[in-house]
Amino acid sequence: MPHDHIISAKQLSRADIEEVLDRAAEIDDNPAAFTQRHPGALLGLLFFEPSTRTKMSFTAAIKRLGGDVVDMGPVEYSSVEKGESLADTVRVVEGYADALVMRHPSEGSAKMASEFVDVPLINAGDGAGQHPTQTLLDLYTIRENAGLDDLTIGIMGDLKYGRTVHSLAHALTNFDATQHFISPESLKLPRSVRYDLHEEGATIREHTELEPILSSLDVLYVTRIQKERFPDESEYRAVAGEYQIDAQTLEEVNDDVTVLHPLPRVDEIDHDVDATEHAQFFEQAHNGVPVRMALLDLMLEGESA
């Protein structure tokens, strides 16, 4: 891994991605070989926003490598409540840990924080910006189920505020992928993301309906409408519940599509999909552990070299 900080999927080359995914596959094949790779390594957790999967799978990952976490805990019990700045907080916590994982509601916050620390900082979500480690586990799951080359993927839901979408779309430009984006008009990809994808020569199409393209997809990546990022609740209500899939639609139109979702879901994937072969989203969440183990292993290996 040539990067000390992991801020955006834009930094990740195809070789970087493959290095992480290959290491994750080795870990999946032989977890016991990795249990004492980094004894005593400490990962600093700074979560300024809710998290279940990202925080817990990073915790599981470092513990399985022989290390541990130092966790700031809920923001309301930290010195942030006393008015401490983000820059001061990260400067303090870098003295307690070998690497930091940070999630924050402001876009650009991970980049800013990384400028104040010497230990590697991993962006675990910066507002509507980026979520690069989610992308690594998404790519791992896509590679296992459909392969990453000659891929036709539909990415549906909140493309405006969904940071997992922004990261995944960038990362897929390293592969031979056709990307279909499906959303209401008001939640289309931000202009800046679309611009970057065009600059990378990506093949992208935008749609407001899923039905016409569903039969052509290898993978359908569904996302939650990011309610917490809407400036106005009425705007959220205008689009909530608009894009929903169920088992019947999938079976009738495309019986071999793999359905992924970064989770948590609200109502965009009916629970009747869970028992079908399409549903790989719980497997996807579980892949967070080997993939984050692989990333940490490579980063910490680089640190001690």
Distance between CA atoms of residues 27 and 25, nearest Å: 5
Q: What is residue 85's three-state secondary structure?
A: coil
Query: Which residue of 8, 57, 114, 164 would you call a contact of ligand NCD, by CB under 6 A?
Result: 164
- Examine the residue annotation and report whether 278 is marked as an active-site residue of this protein: no
The CB-of-292 to ligand NCD minimum distance in angstroms stands at 11
- Which listed residue (163, 170, 278, 292) binds ligand NCD by CB under 6 A? 163
Our CA angle for 33, 37, 43, nearest 5°, is: 135
Name residues whose C-beta falls within 8 Å of residue 268's C-beta, 6 or more positions apart in sequence: 156, 157, 222, 223, 224, 225, 243, 244, 245, 261
Candidates 262, 292, 294, 299; binder of ligand NCD (CB under 6 A) is 262
Q: With contacts defined by CB under 6 A, how many residues of the chain interact with ligand NCD?
A: 10
- Selected binder of ligand NCD within 131, 143, 170, 278 (CB under 6 A): 131
CA dihedral 163, 165, 170, 172 (to 10 degrees): 150
| Per-residue tokens: 252 | 């009738």
Residue 166 sits in the site that holds ligand NCD (CB under 6 A): no
Query: Which of 5, 54, 59, 143 is labelled catalytic?
Result: 54
Q: Of the listed 5, 55, 104, 131, which one is catalytic?
A: 131
Give 99's strand partners. Answer: 43
The Cα–Cα gap between 59 and 67 comes to 9
In this complex, which beta carbon is closest to ligand NCD, that of residue 94 or of residue 126?
126
284 binds ligand NCD (CB under 6 A): no
Minimum distance from residue 52 beta carbon to ligand NCD (Å): 8
Kindly tell me which of 64 and 131 has the beta carbon lying closer to ligand NCD: 131
* Binding letters toward ligand NCD, positions 27-66, x by CB under 6 A: --------------------------xx------------
Amino acid symbol at 227: K
- How many C-beta neighbours within 10 Å does residue 177 have? 22
Residue 290 sits in the site that holds ligand NCD (CB under 6 A):
no
Residue 255 Cβ, how far from ligand NCD at the closest point, in Å? 27
Question: Which residue in 5, 23, 166, 224 binds ligand NCD (CB under 6 A)?
Answer: 224
3-state secondary structure of 223: coil
Give the single-character DSSP code of 37: S
Give 164 or 183: the residue with its C-beta nearer to ligand NCD. Answer: 164
Angstrom CA distances, 282 to 91, 144, 259, 262, 279, stand at 36, 14, 10, 9, 8
The footprint of ligand NCD (CB under 6 A) covers 53-54, 125, 131, 134, 163-164, 224, 262-263
Residue positions annotated with a catalytic role? 53-54, 82, 103, 131
